[in-house]
Amino acid sequence: MLLTLVVFFFIGIRLYTSPTLFEQDAECQTIIFKVPFTEIDLQMLQKIETFEKDLRENNKGVVKVDSVVTILKQLDFANVPKNPMDEQRLLQALFFLELYDLQKTYIDQDSLNIIITLKNTDQSAVIRFLESYKNLPIYLTDVETLSQSSKMEKMVLLLFSLFSALLIIAFVMGIIFRSVAIGWVGFAANIIPIIWFVLFIILFKFELTIEALIAMTISVGLTSDTIIHFGYKYFRSRYFGRTRKHALEIMFFYASVPAVISATVLMIVFGLLIFTQLPSLQLIGAYGAVLMFISLLSDLFILPVLLLAVDKENKHLNTP
301 and 238 together in one domain:
yes
> Which residue, 14, 20, 48, 23, is CA-closest to 34?
48
Q: Residue range 252-264: average pLDDT?
A: 90
Distance CA 303, CA 256 (A): 11
The pLDDT, as a whole number, for residue 314 is 41
157 and 133 together in one domain:
no
Distance CA 66, CA 161 (A): 40
In a domain, 320, yes or no: no
Q: Pick the residue with more confidence: 94 or 319? A: 94
Assess contact for 151 and 210: CB atoms under 8 A. Answer: yes
Last residue of a domain, one of 112, 141, 170: 141
In a domain, 9, yes or no: no
The pLDDT, as a whole number, for residue 62 is 87
In a domain, 3, yes or no: no
Assess contact for 52 and 127: CB atoms under 8 A. Answer: no
In a domain, 258, yes or no: yes
> Which residue, 101, 86, 6, is CA-closest to 46?
86
* pLDDT over 50 at 212, yes or no: yes
What pairs with residue 165 in β-bridges? none
Distance CA 174, CA 223 (A): 16
288 and 216 together in one domain:
yes
- Residue 62, classed as helix, strand or coil, is strand
> Which residue, 54, 297, 95, is CA-closest to 197?
297
* pLDDT over 70 at 20, yes or no: no
Q: Residue range 221-248: average pLDDT?
A: 89
Assess contact for 174 and 224: CB atoms under 8 A. Answer: no
27 and 125 together in one domain:
yes
The pLDDT, as a whole number, for residue 224 is 87
Q: Which amino acid is at 31?
A: I
* pLDDT over 80 at 194, yes or no: yes
Distance CA 40, CA 69 (A): 10
160 and 293 together in one domain:
yes
Assess contact for 79 and 24: CB atoms under 8 A. Answer: no
Q: Pick the residue with more confidence: 95 or 185? A: 185
129 and 176 together in one domain:
no
Helix axes 303-310, 244-251, angle to 10 degrees: 150
Q: Which amino acid is at 268?
A: I
Q: What is the CATH number of the domain that holds 257?
A: 1.20.1640.10
Distance CA 303, CA 201 (A): 23
> Per mean pLDDT, which range of 22-36, 160-174, 214-228 is the poorest?
22-36
- Residue 35, classed as helix, strand or coil, is strand
Work out the burial of residue 155: count CB atoms within 10 Å of its CB; fewer than 13 is exposed, 13-18 middle, 19 or more buried.
middle
199 CB-near residues (< 8 Å, 6+ apart): 7, 10, 11
Helix axes 68-79, 87-99, angle to 10 degrees: 100
The parent domain of residue 116 ranges over 23-141
Q: Residue range 211-221: average pLDDT?
A: 86
What pairs with residue 64 in β-bridges? 117
* pLDDT over 90 at 239, yes or no: no
The pLDDT, as a whole number, for residue 118 is 85
297 and 166 together in one domain:
yes
The pLDDT, as a whole number, for residue 293 is 93
Percent of the chain at pLDDT above 70? Answer: 83
46 and 194 together in one domain:
no
Q: How many CB atoms lie within 10 A of CB 177?
A: 21
In a domain, 54, yes or no: yes
Work out the burial of residue 51: count CB atoms within 10 Å of its CB; fewer than 13 is exposed, 13-18 middle, 19 or more buried.
buried
Q: Pick the residue with more confidence: 5 or 162? A: 162
* pLDDT over 70 at 32, yes or no: yes
- DSSP class of residue 21 equals G
In a domain, 6, yes or no: no
32 and 103 together in one domain:
yes
Q: Each residue of 94-142: pLDDT tens digit?
A: 888 888 787 888 888 788 989 888 887 777 778 888 888 988 988 887 7
123 and 179 together in one domain:
no
SS3 content of the chain, % helix, strand, coil (to 5): 70, 10, 20
User: Total domain count for the chain?
Assistant: 2
Confidence of residue 87 (pLDDT cuts 50, 70, 90): confident
In a domain, 315, yes or no: no
Last residue of a domain, one of 109, 141, 173: 141
pTM, full prediction: 0.65
Q: Each residue of 259-308: pLDDT tens digit?
A: 999 999 999 999 999 999 888 899 999 999 999 999 999 999 999 989 99
Measure Cα distances from 253 to 186, 261, 305, 319 in Å: 21, 13, 17, 19
* pLDDT over 80 at 180, yes or no: yes
80 CB-near residues (< 8 Å, 6+ apart): 89
